[in-house]
Amino acid sequence: MLCLANYAGYAQNDCATATTLTVGTQCVATTMNSTNSTNSNPGAGCGIQNRDDAWATFQATATITVIEYQPTTEDAILHVFSGSCGSLVQEGCADAYWGGFSEVVVINTTVSDWYYIRIQRYQSNGNMNGEVCVWSNIPANETCAGAVSIDVNGACLTKHLARQTEPTN
């Protein structure tokens, strides 16, 4: 008896067909599942295994980006890469070691550069179901260039690390 199955495949099945995500200013979840995926192995480190996986990509909009994956119940491993498919560089990863816990990676990013997200189920080719979100909510005054002067009673008060300089009149 010969049984043939035709799996249509999954759009997020590998790096080259990664789903494009929009970077928000807060976490807005998007479904990311590895249903009917095939194995891929983009390298080594942080639990990377040749397992069924799902891929997404995003273009950075700030210098710090948060990537979060919330699996439904399974034990997920979240990887974040820079570079291009075939020559990926791992920028960060997360493996909470328990099923159903959120995986979060915070990385330094270059505005307008593209990054890749890969999820896999820990030591299993079983389906991974969950939601991913990517956001950058860094206020403009979080950098020196965006610093805001604060006027206190008509005098400028500046703070340098733990030392404070009082105004002179």
Q: What is the DSSP string of 97-125?
A: SSTT--EEEEEE--TT-EEEEEEEETT--
For 18, 85, 154, the CA distances from 77, given in Å and listed in that order, are 17, 19, 53
Banded model confidence at residue 159, pLDDT cuts 50, 70, 90: very low
Residue 90's pLDDT is 92
- DSSP bridge pairs for 128: none
pLDDT of 83 strictly over 50: yes
In a domain, 60, yes or no: yes
Which CATH number characterizes residue 75's domain?
2.60.120.380
**149 in a domain, yes or no?**
no
**Does a structural domain hold residue 9?**
no
Q: Is the pLDDT at 161 greater than 50, yes or no?
A: no
Q: Mean pLDDT: which of 9-13, 34-38, 74-78 is highest?
A: 74-78
The mean per-residue pLDDT over the stretch 19-25 comes to: 93
Across 70-90, b (16+ Cβ under 10 Å) vs e yields bbeebbbbbbbbbbebeebeb
Classify burial at 27, counting beta carbons within 10 Å of its beta carbon; exposed 0-12, middle 13-18, buried 19 or more: middle
Predicted TM-score (pTM) of this structure: 0.72
User: Residue 127 in contact with residue 100, Cβ under 8 Å?
Assistant: no
Query: Looking at the domain assignment, is residue 145 inside a domain?
Result: no
Cα–Cα distance measured from residue 26 to residue 24, given in angstroms and rounded to the nearest whole number: 5
Residue with tokens 């970077």: 23
Question: What pLDDT was estimated at residue 46?
Answer: 72
Mean pLDDT across 28-37: 78
Residue 165: pLDDT over 70:
no
If one counts the domains in the chain, the total is 1
CA dist 111 → 30, 87, 89, 101 (Å): 22, 20, 17, 29
Q: Give the per-residue pLDDT at 64.
A: 94
Which residues lie across from 154 on neighbouring strands?
A: none
Q: Is residue 32 part of a domain?
A: yes
Would residue 55 count as lying in a domain? Answer: yes
Q: Does residue 76 have a pLDDT over 70? A: yes
Q: Does residue 150 lie within any of the structural domains?
A: no
Find the domain containing 87 and state its range: 15-139
CB 63 within 8 A of CB 107: no
Q: For residue 7, what pLDDT is reported? A: 34
pLDDT of residue 1: 37
pLDDT, tens only, 34-58? 765 555 656 666 766 666 788 999 9
Give the pLDDT confidence score for residue 132 in this predicted structure.
94
